[in-house]
Amino acid sequence: MTRLSVNVNKIAVLRNSRGGREPDVLDAARACLDAGAHGITVHPRPDVRHIRADDVLALAQLTREYGVEFNLEGNPFAPPRPGYPGFLALCAQARPAQVTLVPDGDAQLTSDHGFDFERDAGVLRPHVAALKNLGCRVSLFAGAGATLTAAAATGADRIELYTGPYAAAFHAGTPGACEAYAETARQAQVAGLGVNAGHDLDQSNLATFLAGVPDVLEVSIGHALIGEALYDGLAATVRHYLALLDSKH
C-alpha cells in the first residue's frame, strides 16, 4: 500500500498569520496520525514563513512517540540565518526518518521543479552522504523525465516525483497525463531508487495517478488536504485519502 505523509505546513501558515499558537501544529499532526496517516512531512524554509525550527523538533518527538515516519524537506544549499540553523544542522537535531532534498529558493512561492541531476549530482553527493550518516533515508525531488542514473549516483535512496504538472494536466482534461511519470518511475526503479510523489495531488487526481504510475511508495500531501479539511474536517479528510490508497491494492 502506498503510504500517506501529511504535510502540515499550512497549519503553520495560519498560525503565523495571527501570531500565538493557534491553530496548533502539533495538535493538527496528532489529529492526522490518530486518523491513520502514516507520517508527517514539513518543509521549513530559511525565511521561516511557516514551519519553524522549534516546530521541527517538536514534530520529531511526536512522530517518535507514534512510531511513524517524519519526513523533513529542504534545500541543502540554503545558508543558515537567524531562526534557521541550516538544513543539515536541523536534520542533525531532529533525526528525521526521511529527508527530501528540494532545489527551492526564497523567492519561490512553493517548490516548482526538481533537480537537474546531470548538473547537480556532484554537489548533492556529499550532502546525501552526510544525511545518510545521520541515519536518514534520502529522497531527491525530481521532475518527469529526469536523468535517474545521475540521481542514483548521488547515493540517494529515493526520488520524489514533482507532480504539479501532472495535476495541472489532469484538471485540464489532458489525456495521458501520467505517461511521463510512469516512465520516470520505471527508470528510477531500474536504477535502484524507490519512488515517492507529491505536489498538488488531491482526492480527485490521486487514484488516477497511482493507477498509472507503478509502485509509488509514499505520497506527501498538504495544501489540498488541508483545504479539503476546511469543509470535511481533518480526521475525515485523512481517512478519505487512506481509503483511496487502500483501494489501489
pLDDT of 110 higher than 90: no
Arithmetic mean of pLDDT over the chain:
94
Q: For residue range 204-216, what is the model confidence (pLDDT) as tens digits?
A: 999 999 999 999 9
Name the CA dihedral angle for 210, 5, 192, 149, rounded to a multiple of 10 degrees: 90
Domains and CATH numbers, the chain: 3-247 (3.20.20.70)
Percent share of the chain, pLDDT over 70: 96
The pLDDT of 97-110, averaged and rounded, is 80
Q: Cell 525550527 belongs to which residue?
A: 53
pLDDT of 50 higher than 60: yes
Would you call 26 exposed, middle or buried from its count of C-beta atoms within 10 A (0-12, 13-18, 19+)?
Answer: middle
CA distance 191 to 69: 24
The pLDDT of 108-134, averaged and rounded, is 88
Confidence band, pLDDT 50/70/90 cuts, at residue 161: very high
The pTM assigned to this predicted structure is 0.95
Percent share of the chain, pLDDT over 90: 89
pLDDT reported for residue 106:
67
**Window from 47-56, 121-130, 235-244 with minimum mean pLDDT:** 47-56
DSSP 8-state class, residue 97? S
Q: For residue range 214-226, what is the model confidence (pLDDT) as tens digits?
A: 999 999 999 999 9
pLDDT of 60 higher than 80: yes
The pLDDT of 174-185, averaged and rounded, is 93
Give the catalytic positions in this structure: 43, 73, 199
Phi-psi region of 41 (alpha: psi -120 to 50; beta: other; left: phi over 0): beta
